[in-house]
Amino acid sequence: MLAKSSTELVRQKNSALVLSALRRHGPLAHTELSDFTKLSSATVSVITADLERAQIIEKAEQQAASGRGRPRVLFSQRRNCGYLIVVVISSDAVQYSLVDYAGRLIDRFSEERSQEASGVGPFVADLRDALRRIAARSQLAHDKVLMISISSKGLVDTSEPVLRWSPIFGRDEIDFAAVLRDEWPAKIILGNETLLVASALGRQEENNKGSDFRAMAALSLGHSIGLGIVRRGEEGGHQVSAPNFGHMMHVPGGGLCRCGARGCIEAYAGFYAMLRTAFDVPLDTIPAKFVPIAELDKIAVSARHGGRRNMLAFRQAGLALGNGLSRVLSLHERMPIVITGPGVRYYDLLIEGITEGLAESHVVRMEGMPELRVIVDEPTLVFEGHLNHAFSIIDNDIVRRTASVVELRGQAG
């Protein structure tokens, strides 16, 4: 209860509502907009006229009339209203995508990262170079890029686009805003990768279940462990967060983790950790920087054929995940859990431990086992999450500026 309300704010919110309907359902006619937003037809008229004048949306070309009556004219985002660059940083590569304001992919390329850590300096140089390149390839002026949305695994600051800790660069922080400010007027945002997965899942679930949707967690298994949580917010929106799950304490004083602490969940359930258990290496051995997935596949094959030690590796990983999840559920509420990431290929070996680790806890005894789902294709979710997250911010920013834009245009004309 801190901010006062005003009629201008009402317009802002309702304009945002119109834009978000367009995002969710694609091109819509006046009538449909009115239906989806529950705004009166008259209001929709005014808002669409404003947005059209501000060059944010446009009427689509007339299309074959489908029935009796005046034909509908569809509104959609003006594609060249602005652009979004999506940067997905993973352990072995960085993927760059250029997307127009309507959400269409225009260009994409990936750059491999050299395995031997080259440090922050060269990485940033590569990043700047690649960004310049993706704009140049589509002959785009830098000021037409509204936002650069970056994701990485690791620990991300909640308010600034600063990477606090990552499996790749460790404690060497990267302040992306500082690094890109000189060349890009765009807004820079940085999100934890699994946060974006959760965001994408939240939208999917909302589409399916409607207002029944309450909350959901995404667990990403791989070299490191990520968790994203999405919940319905006070005002109908989605609140999404990425707790530092991988480095939540599993066992006090337990196995040494890549982060330098001991007993993190990742130190039991990350790929390197499972390998460590499988080979019976002492738990305080400094973990390998990178583990070829083929190595783990071998262990999995053996485990599936009854190899004791190898089964144990997956079981212990599952237990760490299950216990951790039970703690998450204790601190929030019971919610469906979606498991994704490269590690899902071992789901058959992990599930027993996960279930057992969950079962012991008070929450699960009280409220029952949470629903567990598996989704294999993580990269698609990450990209969807980027679009989701980025455009909802972009649209809100745009709407906040529209009033003044219209004013200026009015004076000019």
Partner DNA sequence: AGTAAATTTCTCGACTGTCGAGAAAAAAGT
Partner DNA sequence: ACTTTTTTCTCGACAGTCGAGAAATTTACT
Spell out the alpha helix ranges (H) of 138-218. 176-180, 193-209
Handedness of CA 14, 17, 22, 25 (dihedral sign): negative
For residue 249, what are its two tokens? 């304490």
Taking CB under 8 A as the rule, does residue 192 contact its own copies?
Answer: no
**Residue 67 binding target from DNA, its own copies, none, CB below 5 to 8 Å by type:** DNA
Contact string (CB under 8 A) for its own copies, positions 158-187, x = contact: x-----xx-----x----------------
Q: Which stretch binds DNA (CB under 7 A): 42-50, 130-138, 250-258, 277-285?
A: 42-50
Give ∠ CA 112-113-117 in degrees, rounded to 5. 165
Per CB under 8 A, which of residues 262..281 are in contact with its own copies? 262-264
Q: Could you tell me the smallest distance in angstroms from the CB atom of residue 141 to its own copies?
A: 30
Q: Which stretch binds DNA (CB under 7 A): 43-51, 144-152, 223-231, 273-281?
A: 43-51
Taking CB under 7 A as the rule, does residue 72 contact DNA?
Answer: yes
Given a contact cutoff of 8 angstroms between Cβ atoms, the answer to whether 283 and 254 are in contact is yes
Taking CB under 7 A as the rule, does residue 286 contact DNA?
Answer: no
Taking CB under 7 A as the rule, does residue 1 contact DNA?
Answer: no
**Residue 245 binding target from DNA, its own copies, none, CB below 5 to 8 Å by type:** its own copies
DSSP, collapsed to helix, strand or coil, labels residue 186 as: coil
Taking CB under 7 A as the rule, does residue 71 contact DNA?
Answer: yes
**Residue 143, C-beta contacts closer than 8 angstroms, at least 6 positions apart:** 185
Residue matched to tokens 């250029």: 98
Taking CB under 7 A as the rule, does residue 136 contact DNA?
Answer: no
Per CB under 7 A, which of residues 366..405 are in contact with DNA? 403
Task: Fill in the DSSP letter of residue 343.
Answer: G
Single out the residue of 1, 61, 67, 368 in contact with DNA (rule: CB under 7 A).
67
Q: Could you tell me the smallest distance in angstroms from the CB atom of residue 280 to its own copies?
A: 22
Taking CB under 8 A as the rule, does residue 357 contact its own copies?
Answer: yes
CA distance 217 to 140: 38
Give ∠ CA 375-381-384 in degrees, rounded to 5. 155
Give ∠ CA 386-370-334 in degrees, rounded to 5. 75
Single out the residue of 24, 25, 26, 62 in contact with DNA (rule: CB under 7 A).
62
Q: Could you tell me the smallest distance in angstroms from the CB atom of residue 33 to DNA?
A: 8
Q: Which stretch binds DNA (CB under 7 A): 33-41, 203-211, 324-332, 366-374?
A: 33-41
CA distance 234 to 388: 19
Which of 338, 316, 331 is CA-nearest to residue 361?
A: 331
Spell out the alpha helix ranges (H) of 26-70. 30-37, 41-53
Write out the residues near DNA by the rule CB under 7 A: 4-8, 10-11, 14, 29-31, 38-43, 45-48, 62, 65, 67-73, 403
